[in-house]
Amino acid sequence: MKLSKMTLCLASAAFMLSANAFAAGDNTSGSLHATGQILDATCTIATNDLNQSIQLGDIPVADIAAVAPLTMVKQQDINFTFTNCPTSLTSLGVRFNYTADPAGNYLPNTGDATGALVGISSSHNNDALASGAVVTSDDYDSAAGGDATVHAKANVYRIGSDAPTEGTIDSISQVVVAYN
């Protein structure tokens, strides 16, 4: 009988230890995925192009209220000028990173206005781009290298069907140069 109890205790202890080992294995390992690109050179871009303040001006509440939800109300061009680009690049652009507002692909507003949000679009249309999207240069010639400009837009969109309220719009996106 003593041997059976001892065997049972040892078997129970082994079972508990093996369960902990499996649980510990699930929580103590993972993976790191590192990516990058080796370039012989990069383009030059002015610091003031990477750190821009876009003035959207005054937008009357009536102008926002007059359009349907998700309609662009106002826009401002954003340009990023690159110089001295090498021929080793196949394309270049600018990536916009931000935490999207729950309403969609819009930058969150830290101001107090409601009913309108800022979104970033390419120069080709007014569709708000998702965070992480890249707007590429249309005029970069990879065979010649040299200079190029990325054209984007900061757009103000009506959001929701509730009446918009006056106040400030203040939104920020991180800007990252994207080389290929």
pLDDT per residue as tens digits for the range 133-160: 999 999 888 888 889 999 999 999 999 9
> Is residue 28's pLDDT more than 90?
no
pLDDT digits (tens, 9 = 90+) for 94-106: 999 999 999 999 9
* Average model confidence (pLDDT) across the chain: 85
Q: How far is CA 21 from the centre of its chain?
A: 39
> What are the tens digits of pLDDT across the range 45-86?
988 898 999 999 999 999 999 999 999 999 999 999 999 998
pLDDT band for position 18 (cuts 50, 70, 90): very low
**16 burial via Cβ count (<10 Å: 0-12, 13-18, 19+):** exposed
Of residues 159 and 26, the one with the higher pLDDT is 159
Pull the structure tokens for residue 86: 């090498």
pLDDT of residue 40: 64
Q: How far apart are the C-alpha atoms of 178 and 180, rounded to whole Å?
A: 7
Q: Which is higher by pLDDT, 63 or 4?
A: 63
Per-residue model confidence (pLDDT) at position 26? 58
Average pLDDT on 107-128 reads 96
Is it the case that residue 7 has pLDDT exceeding 70? no
Q: Where do the domains of the chain lie, and which CATH numbers do they carry?
A: 53-179 (2.60.40.1090)
Q: Which amino acid is located at 110 in the chain?
A: T
Residue of 84, 78, 79, 80 whose CA lies nearest to 44 = 84
Q: Which two tokens stand for residue 114?
A: 């409601």
pLDDT above 50 (res 13): no
